Amino acid sequence: MDPLQIISEYYSPDSEAYHILVNHSRSVADKALELAKQHPEMNLDLQFIEEAALLHDLGVFCCNAPSIDCHGDSPYICHGYQGAELLRKAGYPKHARVCERHTGTGITREMIETEQLPLPPGDYVPETLEEQLICFADKFFSKTKPGKEKSVEKVRAGLQKHGNETVERFDNWCKLFLGK
């Protein structure tokens, strides 16, 4: 599997959206791989982590996010499940799970109902260690500030607006992957 080839099926390599997506996803992949290599005891699948991290935001082109050159019709929160649908159709169900489960620290069925989110009913919370690690690494990088890594404190503060459950999940990942 070549993640960049898959991305190129949906994004023109000359577009700003392509460059934003690839730069962001490369930063996420590098962070996830760095953390995975610090934990050989977890026996993480490094090839899968790299591929899935590069593809985790595949669906952003479906969303209305002009600041990152995406001009689709959907709200940004839908990019995860839309990318997952594309990857399932392409025959990559494990990679699809990363797409649909990386938003925030995951989205629960209760959050969808309570906040009336425009998502299909379901639980979109990372389950496997690889899913959790990629979701965790993603929190440190924004698409609008390429290459600039956020601090743990800044990530935590940004997640606070989504509730204690979200922050608790992030804090658990800090302990698991950073030992903090």
Q: Per-residue pLDDT tens for 83-121?
A: 999 999 999 999 999 999 999 999 999 999 999 999 999
What's the whole-number mean pLDDT along residues 133-141? 97
Domains of the chain, each with CATH number or no CATH: 3-148 (1.10.3210)
Q: Which two tokens stand for residue 91?
A: 């025959």
CA distances from 96 to 35, 90, 92, 101 (A): 22, 10, 6, 9
Closest CA to 136 of 13, 23, 29, 60: 29
pLDDT value at position 83?
97
pLDDT value at position 180?
76
Computed over every residue of the chain, the mean pLDDT equals 95
Alpha-carbon gap, residue 110 to 108, rounded angstroms? 5
What's the whole-number mean pLDDT along residues 159-163? 89
Residues 28, 137 contacting (CB under 8 angstroms): yes
Kindly report, residue by residue over 17-47, the tens digit of the pLDDT. 999 999 999 999 999 999 999 999 999 999 9
pLDDT value at position 147?
79
Kindly report, residue by residue over 59-90, the tens digit of the pLDDT. 999 999 999 898 999 999 999 999 999 999 99
Amino acid at 18: Y
Query: What H or E segment, with its residue span, contains residue 40?
Result: none
Q: Which two tokens stand for residue 52?
A: 């899935």
pTM: 0.95
